[in-house]
Amino acid sequence: MDRPGLRSPEYHAWSFEQALKTAVRTESGCVEWPRARDRYGYGKFQWPEGWLAHRFALGLKLGRPVGQEFMALHTCDNPPCVSPDHLYEGDGADNGRDKARAGTVKGEANPQSRLTDDDVRGIIEQCDAGERLADVAERFGVTPGAVWFIERGFAWTHVTGRAPKDPTRR
């Protein structure tokens, strides 16, 4: 296929196919995106538009773009994989079930975590005692936003056991 005009839908499909020519194929059947990746390991495609390669691949499989309210989910739990056989369209609940099934690394078991389970319990104690979020954050070397997410029950729930609270109330 000759290169189509820049910015046309055909060009994006052509460019994607060109990238796949150098993709790594694993023993498990994954086709790993060979170009740029975001900080989570997902392939980036046609920057600056910022498309995620696995969403584009699923759109090609479906014959239509993935709906805005949906996600392109992996059956292989391999973020750079763009194999159409490993992708399906799902919502946030489907994604949550996938994470639970896969046992996605949480908390201090995550090598990128700055906090331990004991730190999180300390954060909760200090917040419950009325400490300012900024002061707690400074003590633990995280942002006030991170403390807010923990205190409100949106992060580290496996440690705190807290259900998410109304984000509009302190």
pLDDT, tens only, 3-48: 555 555 666 676 777 777 778 889 999 999 888 888 788 988 764 4
Picking from 77, 102, 127, the residue at the C-terminal end of a domain is 102
For the record, the structure tokens of 50 come out as 């910022």
Identify how many contiguous H helices and E strands the chain contains and give both numbers. Answer: 7, 6
Q: Are residues 82 and 97 in the same domain?
A: yes
For residue 87, the model assigns a pLDDT of: 94
Q: Are residues 91 and 13 in the same domain?
A: yes
For residue 105, the model assigns a pLDDT of: 62
For the record, the structure tokens of 140 come out as 């633990």
By residue range, what is the domain housing residue 26?
9-102
For residue 95, the model assigns a pLDDT of: 79
Q: Are residues 77 and 139 in the same domain?
A: no
Q: Are residues 33 and 70 in the same domain?
A: yes
For residue 141, the model assigns a pLDDT of: 94
CATH code of the domain in which 137 resides? 1.10.10
Picking from 64, 87, 102, the residue at the C-terminal end of a domain is 102
Number of structural domains (the chain) is 2
| Residue 4 maps to a domain | no
| Residue 167 maps to a domain | no
Write out pLDDT tens, residues 111-125. Answer: 678 899 999 999 999
Report CA Rg, the chain. 20
Write out pLDDT tens, residues 59-114. Answer: 888 988 888 889 999 999 899 999 999 999 998 778 777 776 776 667 777 767 88
Picking from 78, 102, 126, the residue at the C-terminal end of a domain is 102
